[in-house]
Structure 1
Amino acid sequence: MDDLIQQIIEKKLLPGSKLPSENELAEKYDVPRITVRNALIKLEERSYIYSVQGKGRYLKDKSIPIQLSLTGKTSFTEKMKSMGHDLKTVTISCKKILFEPKIYDILQAKETDTVYQIGRLRIINGVPMAIHYSYVSEHRFPTIKQDSPTIHSMFDYYRQQGTERFSSRKTYLSITFPTLEEQHLLSCNSMVPLIILETDCVDQDSNSILEYTKILYRSDQFKYDITTDP
């Protein structure tokens, strides 16, 4: 398995190419066929390869490069448009959340305030690649519940509310593995790590908090440029 991964890294195996059969690999590495099969299953679980019934296994196509700006000045929608990708956004949830100190503290909300979670699935070039959760205080945006089904870009929504310049104070990156629901939404298996980006969005002119954001990215579909904006 490690040797095949190294061949992929060194581009000795190219995207879309067919892998040798289990028998051929067993003979090449002088191991039982079950050992080869287990290695290939793990490579498939990690999204290096995919199977075609009756035809064999193939190396997956190249991932899509994406720039992740950690300053919060540019929206995901704007990034995708600037790179010429076909982006579709589907609202998957709009619900009140229970009091959670971390989120309420970031939003500078009172315990009695209502906070909504707006969930949106990002589909790029026909492939589901990210889930965006925006946490917004109803006190700050009184019509957020009614408006949420039509929101494709939170930055565009905030512009409609009078905010023009955006920034962020803190941004955190971490890794998790998808739940069953996230596997279903992102069309991935349980072994595909998800990159979690957590940040806030601030009205740069008034220095007021607009939202707390949690984004789940499929790690097998992106290359990450985490260079901050100047």
Structure 2
Amino acid sequence: MKIREESIQHLKIAEFLVEKIRDGEFKEMDKIPSENELCRQFSLNRHVVRQAIARISNLGWVTPVQGKGCYINRIPKPIQYVLSSQTRFSENMENEGVKHKSRLLNWEKGLPKEEERTNLQLDENETVYRLEILRYVDDVPISVTTSVFPEEEVPKLENYLDGFHSLYELLQREYQFRPIRSKSVFQASLPLLKDAEVLQIPESIPIVQMESMMNHPSGAPVEYSVARVRSDMHKCLVEF
């Protein structure tokens, strides 16, 4: 019973500190109250207070500095992302008036995985291009996306990847089409280690996984993508 009570108490302290940060009472680079101050304020032992501080540290709100205490991190402001059939990252960010960029982490050509083949309606022996794209807002990584295209829709794609900065601009310029979103499925999850590393977040920070299908203007499936988006930097507006 005591363990249960301590668990609840440390969550209450963590929520108290997070609310102070969100309300602006504690600002970026401020030092949060010390363990001793929190022990006195909440009339709790040091073990419970340390659990609370460890929690907000693991969630990315503060950074502990040996011998000095914990300091509040820069908390990114969530970016509104408009989701529609014509959604394009660059245009969304330009409309929001924020600095943005995209970087191609890697690419490969080969046989599709089962979910890729099913969603793109391909035969087993048809090949695909698979791109891994990291996107930034104000120089902070916000999402990493795996985009898959049938090779027949984007032949010789590798010839156009040097100097990559915008996927849909490349498609319009070299292949004269722009994919149209037909559906997206959202799911909250924890990031894989490799995604947490490129997104520069702890593994304990939830992400939003967005699985999407894009069609060619002719109606045929042309792109299957899985985006992993930082939940602390993203709010989605769905337009009907």
TM range (shorter): 0.7 to 0.9
Distance 2:27 2:85 in 1: 33
1:226 aligns with 2:237: yes
TM-superposed deviation, 1:119: 0.5
Letter of the aligned partner of 1:162 in structure 2?
Q
1:52/1:75 Cα in 2 relative to 1: closer, same or farther (>3 Å)?
A: farther
For structure 2, the 5+ residue unaligned runs are 1-10
Distance 2:177 2:209 in 1: 26
Distance 2:92 2:176 in 1: 21
Matches within 5 A, 1:30-179: 30-160=43-173, 161-164=175-178, 166-179=179-192
**Corresponding residue of 1:5:** 15
TM-superposed deviation, 1:121: 1.2
**Corresponding residue of 1:211:** 223
**Corresponding residue of 2:34:** 21
SS of aligned partner of 2:84: coil
**Corresponding residue of 1:200:** 213
TM-score of the superposition, structure 1-length normalised? 0.87
Provide, for residues 170-221 of structure 1, a one-character-per-residue CA deviation record: whole Å limited to 9, x for no partner: 11001221222112211111101111111112233x1222211111111122
Higher CA-based Rg: 2
- Could you tell which deviates more after superposition, 119-128 or 95-104? 95-104
Tell which has more relative contact order, 1 or 2 (C-alpha 8 A, sep 6+). Answer: 1
**Corresponding residue of 2:6:** none
Higher share in helix: 2
1:55/1:84 Cα in 2 relative to 1: closer, same or farther (>3 Å)?
A: farther
1:12/1:145 Cα in 2 relative to 1: closer, same or farther (>3 Å)?
A: closer
Distance 1:45 1:136 in 2: 37
TM-superposed deviation, 1:108: 2.4
TM-superposed deviation, 1:25: 0.5
Distance 1:188 1:152 in 2: 23
Distance 1:52 1:216 in 2: 30
Distance 2:227 2:172 in 1: 21
Distance 1:31 1:174 in 2: 37
Distance 2:68 2:93 in 1: 34
The number of equivalent residue pairs is 226
Distance 1:226 1:95 in 2: 32
TM-score of the superposition, structure 2-length normalised? 0.83
TM-superposed deviation, 1:100: 2.1
Letter of the aligned partner of 2:96 in structure 1?
M
1:12/1:128 Cα in 2 relative to 1: closer, same or farther (>3 Å)?
A: closer
TM-superposed deviation, 1:12: 6.4
**Corresponding residue of 2:204:** 191
Provide, for residues 141-167 of structure 1, a one-character-per-residue CA deviation record: whole Å limited to 9, x for no partner: 111233234332221122111125x42
Kindly indicate whether the alpha-carbon contact (under 8 Å) linking 1:130 and 1:216 is maintained by their aligned counterparts in 2: yes
TM-superposed deviation, 1:132: 1.5
Letter of the aligned partner of 2:51 in structure 1?
N
